[in-house]
Structure 1
Amino acid sequence: MWNKVQETVNYLKERTNYSPVYGVILGSGLGSFTQDIAIDFTIPYSEIPNFPISTVQGHSGALVFGKINGISVVAMQGRFHYYEGYDMQTVTFPVRVMRYMGIQTLIVSNASGGVNPNYKVGDIVLIKDHINLFPDHPLRGKNEERFGPRFVNMSEPYSKELILKAKAIALQNQIEVKDGIYLGLQGPTFETLAEYKMVKILGADCVGMSTVPEVIVARHMDLACLGVSVITDMGDEENIEEVNHDEVLLAAQKAEPHVRQLIREFISAQS
């Protein structure tokens, strides 16, 4: 894995001469954030050595290099999921590549189903913690000490400092945000009534099929993380909305202008 990461990093640095400060992973329906970037390079995943290819509708499949208010960023238009058939090392491979290209902070976004009764469809949630119920772990196997330690401290997977900054920026820009705990499941099925009940009993506020493995690997390499989730459907043990992937994309796209503004202003404020 170390050699593959370095090979990919060397290829991207030779092609772009970039050392981004921020890495951004754009979830379902949130890909047009790249319109806020002064783009210098767009590289399809298919052209990048060792990179997998996104197979999910709403995930374009390219690395975008550019600047926001003069700050260098790299954005993933489309992530990889365990349910696509990739192993966890492949799912999280781009996070390792972004780290060795130079990023210091990882911003992850996703679409999720809400179980917190105080949420509604379209709400923006700052993730304050997560529960990992994926059937495999991205750090399983022999540890590569050059990436990070064998046992990773996960007491603060999402930076409290970054969450406070994001809340302040949301307030300044009159963007309503909530916070909550995200629970990660394998997918690709949406949750049953009983599973929504389980999610709520376990203490989570929303549930999705991504993000957790990426943040674990980011913390393995001591990257600060900010997580943003858009609530695209609601469910509990008594009632569940009919939902399909097209509706998820539509709900995410309606919230997208606020998410884009929040991330854009968050990055700009760090200059």
Structure 2
Amino acid sequence: MRVAISRCLLGDNCRYNGKTKPNAAVIRSAKNVEVVPVCPESAGKLPIPRPAAEQRDGGVYMSDGTDVTRQFQAGACKEFDRVKKSGAPLAILKAKSPSCGSDLIYDGTYSGTLTAGDGVFTRLLKQEGITVATETMVEEMHPSVEHPVAIVLGTGLGSITDLVHVVRRIDYHDIEGFPDNAQPIEGHRFEAAIGALDGVPVIVYPGRIHLYRGYSAAEVTSLVRHAFRLGCRDIIFAGATGAIPGKVEKGLGILTDQINLTGRNPLAEWEGLRDVESPFVDMNDLYSPYMSSIARGVAKDQNITIGAGVFAGVLGPSFETRAEVSALRQLGVSYVGMSTVNEVIMAHALGMHVLGLTLAANYSGGCDVDHQSVLATAKRYEDDFQRWVRGIVHLL
């Protein structure tokens, strides 16, 4: 996988003050990818050292008042062309800078104050659809024993658990909030595995419960809260879905956004919400663009065919009628299923980074679907799914 990375984060002496800004987490990640090193300011032939520069009044100015807008734009365009030609779907850039900052940049007062906005280079990348992350995000998402990756698996996808070097197992019934009387349906196991997947610390949950069996949204999301209490910052959800004909093909895919049609919201049932100042949670970037970019890159590297699209979560347990499928298509939905949406809402509310994967085992509204056919399809895709998840976890 190709990733564009700021040269200063890799240890090059290219910052405005002639110094470097190496980042251990970024350097560690760079060892697992094909790096496209970038520095738009050097590409713009700005001198080193020089006064600090920040954006203001639609341009870029040094602290001594010199207008360097043209140099910043020229360098950004030059490096943008390199990144575009490389095919890199992801860039890891220096936070806050007038070239590479993402979402937050210095406000032009040279006082260290931040304001909402993107750097000149970052804007070009985002317009092209290239995901931009900062070194801070890479640091936050790096798995460790204290912060393992949580993996919640749905129907027929629990075989990942068999690849984990397990150091501890936890019966779901010992998890706070999980219903005592719950029993797994076929294709699910109710025992979490804590250990390492190819050396990466993980907690794997090889099964889940569903609203359609009468459980509350709070109970359905108990595994998410458990993972959070154990220190997980990153969480991967994977489940079987139906593919909406005309929108996406059957097979593996990435969830890019969601529509909650279950009629439930776990936050309305979560006692922890009573302790926060505001119950309202922003749902933008519900699924982490950074993690999704990694998932796409891994799939490409491993020649695994994937789709992508919006997921609609429904109550179930009945499959969708043809009229419902037509309505979902009009709503822009590509995948439909009976889990995941409430879990993702809870994870996002807790500040976790979310990746949604799916196996579209059938065409929604078709006549070829029952539980056994879903299990059979999961078995056929088992090898690709395992390779995909292992590659994603490795790059994290």
Q: TM-score range by the shorter chain?
A: 0.7 to 0.9
Distance 2:295 2:159 in 1: 20
Distance 2:159 2:147 in 1: 19
**TM-score normalized with structure 2 length:** 0.60
1:211 equivalent to 2:340? Answer: yes
Residue 49 of structure 1 and its aligned partner are, at CA, apart by: 5.0
**TM-score normalized with structure 1 length:** 0.86
Contact residue 116 and residue 206 of structure 1 kept, 8 A = no
**CA distance change for structure 1 residues 96 and 47 in 2, over 3 Å: closer, same or farther?**
closer
Equivalent residue number for residue 135 of structure 1: 263
Contact residue 147 and residue 221 of structure 1 kept, 8 A = no
Residue 256 of structure 1 and its aligned partner are, at CA, apart by: 2.0
Equivalent residue number for residue 261 of structure 1: 387
Give deviations 1:24-82, integer Å, cap 9, x for gaps: 00110001111221111222223445423343221111111110232211011101111
Distance 2:349 2:228 in 1: 11
Distance 1:187 1:217 in 2: 20
Q: After superposition, where does 1:27-176 map in structure 2 within 5 Å?
A: 27-52=154-179, 53-117=182-246, 119-121=248-250, 123-141=251-269, 144=273, 149-176=278-305
Q: 2:151 aligns with which of 9, 12, 24?
A: 24
Contact residue 178 and residue 220 of structure 2 kept, 8 A = no
1:182 equivalent to 2:311? Answer: yes
Distance 2:276 2:353 in 1: 15
Equivalent residue number for residue 251 of structure 1: 377
> Greater shift after overlay, 42-51 or 86-95?
42-51
Equivalent residue number for residue 127 of structure 2: none
**CA distance change for structure 1 residues 187 and 147 in 2, over 3 Å: closer, same or farther?**
farther
> Greater shift after overlay, 50-59 or 208-217?
50-59
Residue 221 of structure 1 and its aligned partner are, at CA, apart by: 0.5
Distance 1:48 1:88 in 2: 15
Return 5+ residue gaps in structure 2 as ranges: 1-144
Q: SS of the counterpart of 1:139?
A: helix
Give deviations 1:143-183, integer Å, cap 9, x for gaps: 62657951111011101111111111111111111111100
Paired residue total: 249
Distance 1:232 1:156 in 2: 26
Equivalent residue number for residue 33 of structure 2: none
Contact residue 36 and residue 264 of structure 1 kept, 8 A = no
**CA distance change for structure 1 residues 39 and 20 in 2, over 3 Å: closer, same or farther?**
farther
**CA distance change for structure 1 residues 78 and 150 in 2, over 3 Å: closer, same or farther?**
same
Q: SS of the counterpart of 1:144?
A: helix
Contact residue 65 and residue 73 of structure 1 kept, 8 A = yes
Q: SS of the counterpart of 1:86?
A: coil
Contact residue 92 and residue 138 of structure 1 kept, 8 A = yes
What is the RMSD computed on CA atoms of the aligned residues?
A: 1.8
**CA distance change for structure 1 residues 111 and 148 in 2, over 3 Å: closer, same or farther?**
farther
Distance 1:265 1:147 in 2: 37
Contact residue 231 and residue 252 of structure 1 kept, 8 A = no
Residue 120 of structure 1 and its aligned partner are, at CA, apart by: 3.1
Contact residue 175 and residue 222 of structure 2 kept, 8 A = no
Residue 127 of structure 1 and its aligned partner are, at CA, apart by: 0.4
Equivalent residue number for residue 7 of structure 1: none
Contact residue 59 and residue 79 of structure 1 kept, 8 A = yes
Return 5+ residue gaps in structure 1 as ranges: 1-17
Residue 190 of structure 1 and its aligned partner are, at CA, apart by: 0.9
Q: Which amino acid aligns with 1:86?
A: Y
> Greater shift after overlay, 154-163 or 66-75?
66-75
Residue 101 of structure 1 and its aligned partner are, at CA, apart by: 0.5
Max Rg structure: 2
Contact residue 244 and residue 363 of structure 2 kept, 8 A = yes
Q: Which amino acid aligns with 1:266?
A: I
Contact residue 247 and residue 334 of structure 2 kept, 8 A = no
**CA distance change for structure 1 residues 164 and 147 in 2, over 3 Å: closer, same or farther?**
farther
**CA distance change for structure 1 residues 173 and 109 in 2, over 3 Å: closer, same or farther?**
same
Q: Which amino acid aligns with 2:151?
A: V
Q: SS of the counterpart of 1:191?
A: coil
Identity of aligned residues (%): 30
Q: SS of the counterpart of 1:187?
A: coil
Contact residue 310 and residue 334 of structure 2 kept, 8 A = yes
Distance 1:80 1:120 in 2: 27
Q: SS of the counterpart of 1:227?
A: strand
